[in-house]
Chain A
């Protein structure tokens, strides 16, 4: 049996790097320290693999050779006038780099899950800027933690233990030294664990944030209740924020993907900035996929923009709302889509999924999904952080190395290698044409 120490967990944005993985006969048998989500992936990732490369013929996916799939993919991409490349949040940074080069080569648009989750949070940085920090800062110093529209306990099970509420740092000895306030529309597990839970009405985050900013400036709120919360309670909350030593807000999709979207984030970022005149205050997103932050990082340093990058003009262009995947598909402009490690068919609005199927669809994925089931070309790949190594970025932007723990199945390879083969083929075809 082989034991790997300090393994980085390739599940959520926490990227816990203290996992001890035991491997026997090329099979993972144990993942010590991992949470339920981590354990499940380490032990069961291999259960639902795509057995072979496939191409759809007369409506039925038929097994073919990898080379045929690569050729077909390259043909589709070269022929397309405005292809989309989407996903990559479960791939290594190295794969993302190749995907950007490929997008540049075929003159398409590169978009990522950010587009449908924390995109507004990213745009908030363009608008206001962000007072943030590394997760260790929270662990050492925070005496006030606010989880806003973020269910830390269930979406990031080890977040509290490693980085926030119950963690022990230089100046805080666990939860007795901290105050956890949850602001959410329903009583989540995180809310149950909190010192205080403030339940606000669905879709009223924007009003609540502004009422809080008003209270913070010691100005009068001309109402009895905002978002279902009595004004006295809002004023009390403002006082708690002002008087802490070191506060932090973790926000989730309960803020970014509800009414107000980017406006909510602008409000929260402004609130945090204002609070720094009183005390020390940070804010950071609780991000889902383990390398969604990595895609934003690489895309930003290579192209200047974090996601929704239109390379059809030859230079990078970015305008969320115009160059974001759902908007492009809705306008019927794209004529081919390459999906890497994502399942848009299951998660996009039905009308968008329908249009997605109407143009050639290619999937690179290790496992079955609704998207692979309807794709014209399916290329099986291996799992980043289990079957191939590379880099990934934690939700606070910290870069960590993923490990290779087991050998990948014979007919699969990393996203990076698959994308490189496609890129080479595309260049070959472009030369011939």
Chain B
């Protein structure tokens, strides 16, 4: 592997306090190094260009049974983007649910190098890994779902905290998961009888635990296991008017477990995902408003929470979530095609295509809500930029979202086109905050990597993974707040993307295909506890599942570039 020297680039690396300085970045053997021998290195002239760490996406639905069902549901979605085979690229299709190869290529061409898939049933992780193996160019990992898991609810009901933690450790290790995801905790189990839970204190039928207990118990367990990422939550009442109250209540229920800040940066213990869908005011569909102000106020006053946006971008996209009851409501509201897929003992899933229209009041409110949240929460280290791909919009629209954050002018210009009533009911126009490049790097790279516990990613310090993106943005000539469209265009196609020390994208086109890693977490709990819990699981397994326990376990030989992260648990 040849050494690389990126010369004279304008570097943004907030973790190492580098804010737009012109410095050289040296790369050797897949890592950032102090220096390389220039005569033996491939030199990239990055004069008048910006150099950033490779993008790290904390929440994007790119693989697994749900995404694949989305692909199957929408052949018409694929016809809009047909990608022929080239000498380095496999053929592919798709916009809101792209095929696996295309997903990898398009992320890489935008300068992204790491993407985490946020929701899959543990039972179907072998399928997820099978798709990861076919998703090139990026490092991946998956958060298995625990919010309506029978084992979890039973351990909580019996107040068995240690056993719960050991069960989670066993599951993550067995199915090769990275973090714990809760989706409409308890509500998905209710949906299996056609119902839902309406609040945090309504007990889940047959199990006698409440969503509040699930959230708190799981948050505590995740902390005791020392998992690299906090609990990842999609709150109850998602998508409903007035749900900001449930979201704040959910977050506040975990406040007692808050951790101290380090180096002035917060250490969140809960990640509220796609806040846009979780932060509405109003009482019904007629008077729905943004509740971002309330949530932002809460988050500005509390350091135990991080969020990602789930920004809506007006487009024809596909909603997909483990929140089965929500998707059923969306189906009855829209009359669109609907997939539901419940998974034994664990979770559910729903998929409904949707067209977000600028002229639609509710859709415009959704658009406003995401941007308000991003601009009202002061600390960028708490905010990750996502569209909850494909729920709010495709990941390929990230550059557009970034320019909305960077330019008030871009927002104003766009606001002219959206529903007038929504416009009159938002504070967005009065928000003059504009993200700097450093802020953008934090919310798309440095902050996301930090929240995921990926110490070697999201920065360009010596020893970091050599995942780098170079974009053709000349900050001497371009002011992102004014010529925002130039920024958007440049961010869509990286000049160079370097993955693990190899140039994989040049001039916005993939020039080399690399497989990428699959991360998973092995949290070591005490041997006795691990043993006793494993035999408990074994006893229940036959009753809960329709497969044998040995076939539930994902073998490492099935994973391309299996990359376990080992941590020591406190149980």
Chain A contact residues, CB within 8 Å of chain B:
5-6, 8, 17-18, 93, 97, 101, 104, 122, 125-137, 139-141, 162-163, 170-171, 245-246, 273, 276-277, 279-280, 282, 296-298, 300-306, 311, 313-318, 391, 393, 397-401
- A304 touching B92, Cβ below 8 Å: yes
Complex Cα distance, B398 from A398, in Å, reads 33
- B545 touching A126, Cβ below 8 Å: no
B18-26, B123-131, B219-227: which lies at the interface? B123-131
- A245 touching B193, Cβ below 8 Å: yes
- A398 touching B338, Cβ below 8 Å: no
Judged by a CB distance under 8 angstroms, whether B48 is at the interface is: no
Residues of A within 8 A of B63 (CB): 301
Residues of B within 8 A of A277 (CB): 332
Whole-angstrom distance from the CB of B296 to the nearest CB of chain A?
36
Complex Cα distance, B547 from A401, in Å, reads 11
Among the interface residues B72, B84, B90, B558, which one has the most CB atoms of the partner chain A within 10 A? B72
Residues of B within 8 A of A398 (CB): 123-124, 127, 547
- B192 touching A141, Cβ below 8 Å: yes
- A136 touching B127, Cβ below 8 Å: no
Select from chain B the residue with minimum beta-carbon distance to A19. Answer: B548
- B193 touching A128, Cβ below 8 Å: no
Residues of A within 8 A of B100 (CB): 301-302
Interface string of B338-352 (1 = CB under 8 A from A): 111111110010011
- B127 touching A297, Cβ below 8 Å: yes
Complex Cα distance, B91 from A316, in Å, reads 7
Complex Cα distance, B348 from A141, in Å, reads 14
Complex Cα distance, B191 from A279, in Å, reads 10
- A136 touching B546, Cβ below 8 Å: yes
- A104 touching B91, Cβ below 8 Å: yes
- A397 touching B91, Cβ below 8 Å: no
Given A101-B90, A122-B72, the answer on whether A132 and B341 have CB atoms closer than 8 Å is yes
5 pairs, A vs B, C-beta closer than 8 Å: A17-B548, A128-B338, A302-B101, A315-B91, A397-B124
- A131 touching B83, Cβ below 8 Å: no
Complex Cα distance, B548 from A129, in Å, reads 30
By size class, the interface of chain B is 35 or more
Partner of B546, one of A134, A301, A305, A311: A134
Contacts A126-B75, A397-B65 known; list 15 others, CB within 8 Å: A17-B551, A125-B73, A131-B339, A132-B340, A280-B193, A302-B90, A304-B98, A314-B91, A315-B83, A315-B92, A316-B82, A316-B92, A318-B78, A391-B558, A400-B551
Select from chain A the residue with minimum beta-carbon distance to B555. Answer: A401
Among the interface residues A130, A170, A298, A314, which one has the most CB atoms of the partner chain B within 10 A? A130
- B558 touching A301, Cβ below 8 Å: no
Complex Cα distance, B545 from A314, in Å, reads 42
Whole-angstrom distance from the CB of A19 to the nearest CB of chain B?
10
Select from chain B the residue with minimum beta-carbon distance to A105. Answer: B85
Residues of B within 8 A of A276 (CB): 194, 328, 340
- A135 touching B546, Cβ below 8 Å: yes
Select from chain B the residue with minimum beta-carbon distance to A390. Answer: B558
- B337 touching A314, Cβ below 8 Å: no
Complex A-B, nearest 6 residue pairs according to Cβ-Cβ distance, in ascending order: A136-B344, A314-B84, A133-B342, A304-B93, A129-B337, A304-B78
Partner of B340, one of A97, A122, A133, A305: A133
- B75 touching A318, Cβ below 8 Å: yes
Complex Cα distance, B331 from A277, in Å, reads 11
Select from chain B the residue with minimum beta-carbon distance to A133. Answer: B342
Complex Cα distance, B513 from A18, in Å, reads 39
Complex Cα distance, B72 from A303, in Å, reads 10
Among the interface residues A137, A171, A300, which one has the most CB atoms of the partner chain B within 10 A? A300
Give the contacts of B101-146 with A (CB-CB under 8 A).
Answer: 101, 123-124, 126-127, 130-131, 134
- B71 touching A133, Cβ below 8 Å: no
Whole-angstrom distance from the CB of B511 to the nearest CB of chain A?
19
Residues of B within 8 A of A134 (CB): 123, 341-344, 546
Residues of A within 8 A of B94 (CB): 304
Select from chain A the residue with minimum beta-carbon distance to B74. Answer: A126
A interface secondary structure, majority? mixed
- A126 touching B72, Cβ below 8 Å: yes
Complex Cα distance, B192 from A279, in Å, reads 10
Residues of A within 8 A of B71 (CB): 300-301, 304
Judged by a CB distance under 8 angstroms, whether B8 is at the interface is: no
- A305 touching B78, Cβ below 8 Å: yes
Chain B contact residues, CB within 8 Å of chain A:
63, 65, 67-69, 71-75, 78, 82-85, 90-94, 97-101, 123-124, 126-127, 130-131, 134, 150, 192-194, 206, 328, 331-332, 337-345, 348, 351-352, 543-548, 550-551, 555, 558
Select from chain B the residue with minimum beta-carbon distance to A278. Answer: B194
- A130 touching B339, Cβ below 8 Å: yes
Whole-angstrom distance from the CB of B74 to the nearest CB of chain A?
8
- A136 touching B131, Cβ below 8 Å: no
- A280 touching B91, Cβ below 8 Å: no
Complex Cα distance, B134 from A93, in Å, reads 12
- B72 touching A137, Cβ below 8 Å: no
Residues of A within 8 A of B134 (CB): 97, 301-302
Given A127-B337, A133-B341, A135-B546, the answer on whether A301 and B131 have CB atoms closer than 8 Å is yes
- B93 touching A316, Cβ below 8 Å: yes
Partner of A162, one of B75, B91, B546: B546
Complex Cα distance, B342 from A398, in Å, reads 12
Select from chain B the residue with minimum beta-carbon distance to A391. Answer: B130
Whole-angstrom distance from the CB of B77 to the nearest CB of chain A?
8
Residues of B within 8 A of A391 (CB): 126, 130, 558
Complex Cα distance, B548 from A338, in Å, reads 36
Given A300-B72, A398-B547, the answer on whether A140 and B99 have CB atoms closer than 8 Å is no
Given A301-B71, A315-B85, the answer on whether A136 and B545 have CB atoms closer than 8 Å is yes
Whole-angstrom distance from the CB of A361 to the nearest CB of chain B?
26
Residues of A within 8 A of B126 (CB): 391, 399-401
Given A132-B339, A311-B91, the answer on whether A125 and B72 have CB atoms closer than 8 Å is yes
Whole-angstrom distance from the CB of B473 to the nearest CB of chain A?
31
Given A125-B339, A136-B546, A162-B546, the answer on whether A280 and B75 have CB atoms closer than 8 Å is no
- A400 touching B547, Cβ below 8 Å: yes
Given A17-B551, A122-B72, the answer on whether A137 and B127 have CB atoms closer than 8 Å is no
Select from chain B the residue with minimum beta-carbon distance to A101. Answer: B90
Whole-angstrom distance from the CB of B469 to the nearest CB of chain A?
26
Complex Cα distance, B316 from A200, in Å, reads 42
Partner of A129, one of B127, B351, B545: B351
Complex Cα distance, B544 from A139, in Å, reads 9
Residues of A within 8 A of B545 (CB): 136
Whole-angstrom distance from the CB of B384 to the nearest CB of chain A?
26
Residues of A within 8 A of B340 (CB): 130-133, 276, 282
Residues of A within 8 A of B192 (CB): 137, 141, 246, 280
Complex Cα distance, B345 from A401, in Å, reads 21
Complex Cα distance, B85 from A8, in Å, reads 35
Complex Cα distance, B341 from A316, in Å, reads 27
Residues of A within 8 A of B83 (CB): 315
Among the interface residues B101, B328, B546, B550, which one has the most CB atoms of the partner chain A within 10 A? B546
Residues of A within 8 A of B67 (CB): 301
Complex Cα distance, B93 from A318, in Å, reads 11
- A279 touching B344, Cβ below 8 Å: no
- B344 touching A280, Cβ below 8 Å: no
Complex Cα distance, B97 from A126, in Å, reads 14
Complex Cα distance, B83 from A213, in Å, reads 41
- B548 touching A6, Cβ below 8 Å: yes
Residues of B within 8 A of A273 (CB): 331, 338
Whole-angstrom distance from the CB of A264 to the nearest CB of chain B?
18
Select from chain A the residue with minimum beta-carbon distance to B64. Answer: A301
Complex Cα distance, B97 from A132, in Å, reads 20
